[in-house]
Amino acid sequence: MSKTHGLGRGLDALINGDLRKTESPEKTTGALRLLLTEISTPPWQPRQGFAEEAMEDLIRSVKDRGILQPLLVRKRGATYELMAGERRLRAAGAAGLKDVPVIVLEATDEDALAVALIENLQRQDLNVIEEAEGYRVLADKFTLTQEEIAARVGKARASVANALRLLALASPVKAMVAEGRLSSSHAKVLIALEIPAEQVLFAERVIKDGLSVRQLEQAVEHTRRTPRKPRAVREDIPETHVKYLSDKLHQHLGTAVRVHPTRTFANGKKAKGTIEIDFYSNDDLDRIIEVLGIQGDDL
């Protein structure tokens, strides 16, 4: 996308100013019409799910009155790709319609993505996780600041910032928020917990016990102040073999050697191992280097 228009000033600006409408031989009174089979949906649509009850209401409305607001599409070879209006497209199919009204725009990939994101983010029925994902794409792909994103989608900067913070949560917690089982206010409290498993545990407690936001804050604060038990850890080399290796290296190098093997934590992560070799002068260091078989030319 060209930097000159900087993602437009919102959806209306993209449609009316920065993108050009294109004609089609299927033009009818008030709008072009396309068969549903001619329209494909791109993989980067920001919406991941649709509320069943809201979709049923929309389907009933489409059956009664048809599609009142044209979909936005762009030409892609012999077919057309949807840019905005996926709910209406799905409702049209469910209502048994064969074609829908559209506005065909000339748009680059970035233009199409911007229109889809802004159109969806300006609606009220995205869940907060879908919102946050959309904001992240606008920030990453178009290098927009939070202030710029807020201006494009008509939201307060604080709303954008708070939504983006939720993306740091563990995946199961984000799913709970997206499904409406956990409020975004509760989820924001859980961000203070650095361990994903703890976030999930507290989220499940909120759902099971009906904890208020204040009660959750108190529980999280208590957990953060409580000294943590040492994590379960296993040495990867038995102690007897470590002593054997240390003794052999001591004999070979003529100085004290300490071997610290790698360790495996309960979560499967590894801690590095080390070998410490003592020396007491530059001459002693030269002697050890020579024993190790390292030539002067290699240094």
More confident residue, 42 or 52: 42
In Å, what is the CA distance from 56 to each residue of 48, 85, 235, 276?
A: 17, 16, 58, 69
Residue 1 lies in a domain: no
Residue 3 lies in a domain: no
Cα distance between residue 85 and residue 45, in whole Å: 10
Pairing assessment for the beta strands 79-84 and 71-76 based on DSSP bridges: antiparallel
Residue 267 lies in a domain: yes
Residues serving a catalytic function are 86
Q: Convert the pLDDT of each residue in 262-294 to its tens digit.
A: 888 777 788 888 998 988 888 888 888 888 888
Q: What is the pLDDT of residue 200?
A: 93
Contact 123, 26 (CB under 8 A): no
Residue type (1 letter), 137: V
Q: What is the pLDDT of residue 230?
A: 58
Cα distance between residue 179 and residue 131, in whole Å: 13
- Three-state DSSP at 79 gives strand
pTM score, two decimals?
0.54
Phi, psi of 258, rounded to the nearest 5 degrees = -120, 125
173 in the same domain as 134:
no
Contact 125, 51 (CB under 8 A): yes
Contact 203, 173 (CB under 8 A): yes
140 in the same domain as 174:
no
pLDDT category, 9, cuts 50, 70, 90? very low
260 in the same domain as 189:
no
pLDDT reading at 214 higher than 80 = yes
Q: Name the residue range of residue 180's domain.
A: 169-225
What is the H or E stretch that residue 71 is in?
strand 71-76
Counting the structural domains of the chain, the total is 3
CATH code at position 15: 3.90.1530.30
Q: What is the pLDDT of residue 125?
A: 61
pLDDT category, 16, cuts 50, 70, 90? very low
Q: Convert the pLDDT of each residue in 108-153 to its tens digit.
A: 776 777 777 777 776 656 788 888 888 888 888 778 889 988 887 7
154 in the same domain as 15:
yes
Residue 204 lies in a domain: yes
Cα distance between residue 146 and residue 152, in whole Å: 10
189 in the same domain as 147:
no
191 in the same domain as 89:
no
Long-range contacts: 152-156, Cβ < 8 Å, 24+? 152/7, 152/8, 152/9, 152/10, 152/118, 152/121, 153/10, 153/118, 153/121, 153/122, 154/10, 154/122, 155/121
241 in the same domain as 200:
no
